[in-house]
A and B are shown apart, each in its own frame.
Chain A
Amino acid sequence: MKAKYKIILISFVSIILLASVIVYAQTSSVSHEAAKTVTQEMINTSSEILKDLNSTEAILNTQVKYDELKKQNIYEISNSKYTINLDSSNNLIGIYSKSTTPVTTNNLADKNQAQTMIVNKYKELGLPADYELSYLEKFDNEIWQANFEKNYNGIYNKYESVKVFFIPENNEIVALTVFNEGHDNSEVSVSKEDAVLTASQNLNLPSSEVVSAYLSMEKSNTFYDENNSDTSVHTSWVIQTSDNSIVYVDASDNNVIGGDCINE
């Protein structure tokens, strides 16, 4: 009989505990969600963008996702064809299709036609006017890729750019991402030879093992220094060696700011 009471008591306490946990979880979730919701203004902006994309299907879903790589909330608005990504200030940061329309015409677009289509679409979407077309190539049998990047005295910053995949024959955007991270504004004061020397010393290789060196904008990273907390964009010398190692050398102070390697 005593055991029976014990079981009833334990069950009662367990139910109370479980209920408390559920109520707490719901309350905390509500307060968390309140801080990040897709607003009507964002829906209106997305509707305008979808109109520019000739996608008149109704909006089906909205959600807020946290992007671990960008360390920011992404506001997603979707219809059956596209997902539009906006930042918290209602700026367009991405267009991603869920399907593509097959090309039916036999008159495939040439490079000039592809360029005309994408430059017009770029303007229609109100994308940054100070980015210039820096790359235009065929990606596969149907899809082309274009990049619009900010030009700093002949050095393009890929972190201030728009990367877009599209089908010119269909006037169709397949995927588009807006990158908007400025660089450190520093001048190039390190020579190629000095940067090569720094990189080869860092890798403990002779300079003769360097196969290429060019100026670029690169993000500092932890590739050669796990304690490096800098993630900003620097004007850098990109030095590649014969063993497929890559070293980023800051073009203003000759310090190694990060690197990478080719997966070959």
Chain B
Amino acid sequence: MNKKIISCILLVIIMLVTLTSTAHASASAKVFANGKSGYYNNCCAYAVDGLSRLGYSPCTSSMGAITRDSMLEWINNTGNGYAMYVHTFGGSGYFNDYYGYSINSSMISGNWDFVYIDSAYSAATSALADAFHTTGYSNRCFLGWSKSVTTGDSDTFNYYFWLTYVGTSSIRNAAIDAASRVPGSGTTPIKLYGSTTYTGTAR
């Protein structure tokens, strides 16, 4: 009887170990959202949902008073982190933490599959896209804004982008479909660098 119980316990342990190792093998993602308003928290939840559906596991999030160090720790990770969404303030070639400290292209390293920096002018040039090494490959891309964007328009865009279109087509098509759902001229200057056919699916 005891032997049977011990065998069962061992079997369960082996299954758990197998599951854990499988989970570690897949690409993971992280979402950072500056907690300046409710819009940011919404977008954070949308992104976690979208990235999880793209197969990133685990997809963790950090909301509120995000720091430069915490973002750089993820950016410079040597594990399976291949995707990142950051919703914060920023400008051309940089983005800020909650306290206003900037991360610029010279601080970024690694080979990333899908990065979306959701701050004004993040894609005004290819500086950030190049720094994340998302350009020049068939299965990588970078998404950002080429001009200024309001948090309200960004919130609407992200609702449709992450919850409706991501995973149904290429990131480029998903972004254009979502952009069309935000009313107004010039309200959604979304810009993609890298592959126009990549679907964002986790490796």
* A38 contacts B by Cβ under 8 Å: no
Contact B180 A158 (CB under 8 A): no
Residues A163 and B150 in contact in the complex (CB < 8 Å), given A99-B169, A264-B119: no
Bound complex: CA A55 to CA B180 (Å): 20
- Tell me if A246 counts as interface (CB < 8 A to partner B): yes
Query: In whole Å, how far is A221's beta carbon from the nearest beta carbon of chain B?
Result: 7
Query: Which of B89, B153, B177, B182 has the most chain A CB atoms inside 10 A of its CB?
Result: B177
- Among A135, A165, A260, which residue has its beta carbon within 8 angstroms of that of B186? A135
Q: Is A7 an interface residue (CB 8 A)?
A: no
The distance in angstroms between the C-alpha atoms of A68 and B177, with both chains bound, is: 17
* Complex Cα–Cα for A97 and B89 (A): 31
A122 at the interface (CB under 8 A from B): no
**A172→B179 CA distance, assembly (Å):** 17
Q: Using a Cβ–Cβ cut-off of 8 Å, how many residues does chain B contribute to the interface with A?
A: 38
In the assembled complex, B110 has its CB within 8 A of some CB on chain A: no
Chain A positions 152 through 175: 1 when the CB is less than 8 Å from some CB of chain B, otherwise 0: 000000110101110000000011
B159: chain A residues within 8 A (beta carbon): 68-69
Q: Which residue of A lies closest to B189 (CB)?
A: A139
Tell yes or no: A88 within 8 A of B by CB: no
B64 interfacial contact with A, CB 8 Å: no
Q: Is B191 an interface residue (CB 8 A)?
A: yes
Which B residues touch A223, using CB under 8 A? 37, 152
Question: Known contacts being A97-B173, A140-B191, is A261 close to B150, with CB within 8 Å?
Answer: yes
**Interface presence of A96 (CB below 8 A):** yes
B residues bordering A, Cβ < 8 Å?
37, 88-91, 118-121, 145, 148-154, 156, 159, 164-165, 168-170, 173, 176-177, 179-187, 191-192
